[in-house]
Structure 1
Amino acid sequence: MTGSRVRAAKGQGGLLRDQLLDIADHLLEDGGEDALTIRAVATSAGVTPPAVYLHFASKRELVHATCLRVWSSLFTELEAVSRGISDPVTALYETCVAYIAFGLRYPSHYRLVMDGEATEASRQNADACFRYFRDKVAACLDAGLPVESRTETARLLCAGVHGAVSLLIHQGRDAWPSDTADYAMRAASAAVHGALLTASHVSRPSMSAVMPSS
């Protein structure tokens, strides 16, 4: 999409900003961070680089605005999958599945926000994710599960789901499992079971603990 662009009408600068973010999103998804440059966005939008700088002071600001716009949809997705589920553990599990699936759907965005150079916006977003999972753990506690510390349990849970995403997005897609939906469900199950089983005490794993009784 190149060529001349009609100047935005007065008061419609937000329309161009959204257009630039749409273009940046596609560049990031298709080519990763290296493909997302001010010049590439300007060329695709049919404007000059200074027109992009009117909305984003630097490439870093553009990258994070692009990532965080996509990321803002995460909480909507998490609420959608857990809404109406009365069992808090099942709701927690479905939330974890959705979180892992989101990270695998937007690997470049996820990597830049969670593992890239930190900005205040990224820190706030990571904190919001942690508090969201801690609230889900609190619901399990309210339902009678023996959770000694909501914070520690949420920390273990976040380690599990974040690790499940990070393990794959730092590899080439040819190394990913063929069924990522099944992977997300298994990883979420492991994260929830592991966090909740150690929520009240820490026990050393052994063969007797994992072998089925005869």
Structure 2
Amino acid sequence: MAKQLPYETMREIFTRFRTAEGEPKGELEHVNAYTLVVAVALSAQATDAGVNRATRELFKIADTPEKMLALGEEGLTEHIRTIGLYRNKAKNVIKLSRILVEEHRGEVPSSRAALMALPGVGRKTANVVLNMWFHFPAQAVDTHIFRVGNRTGIAPGRDVEAVERAIEDNVPVEFQLHAHHWLILHGRYICVARKPKCAACLIRDLCPYEDKTA
């Protein structure tokens, strides 16, 4: 685990990320807040690309909790069979859809606690929804961010909540909204788990990682 980088280094890192991609976007396809919740819930232990393939047709016929309930668990299962743990995920999507209808008038709540009360929605999923839909600077820490945060010293921490706090505490405020997207994309395509692509890295000269690749 690298030590936390100093403030000026952090500012330079995120300035470079912003210059390279000013408006980074999540890769899960969705059409509204509800389909975003469903897509993120389905993405646990699955790739965004795999989820997108399954949900493109699904969201054409079930883009609200009411429509999803009408489709039913078996109907939903037929659409998401290619996604890992699809049976359990189908149960959770139907349950969360019912809760949204019965307790939130079919609307997705903008509270982290209310989101986390939904079946299949953990802190990471809630933070993705808060960030991407409600534009709140919540930090959704996945395996990519955990790796990048600890490897580079951008956000060191022994668990995901510690990394989340490190981002909130140390990333300059003007970069907070997009911080988790920049870090996810950096970890997914450049700072990969094995043989990171250091030669193509925007922040190679600022990164203290000792085992840089040629």
Normalised by the length of structure 1, the TM-score is 0.29
| Larger Cα-atom Rg | 1
Higher RCO (CA 8 Å, separation ≥ 6 residues): 2
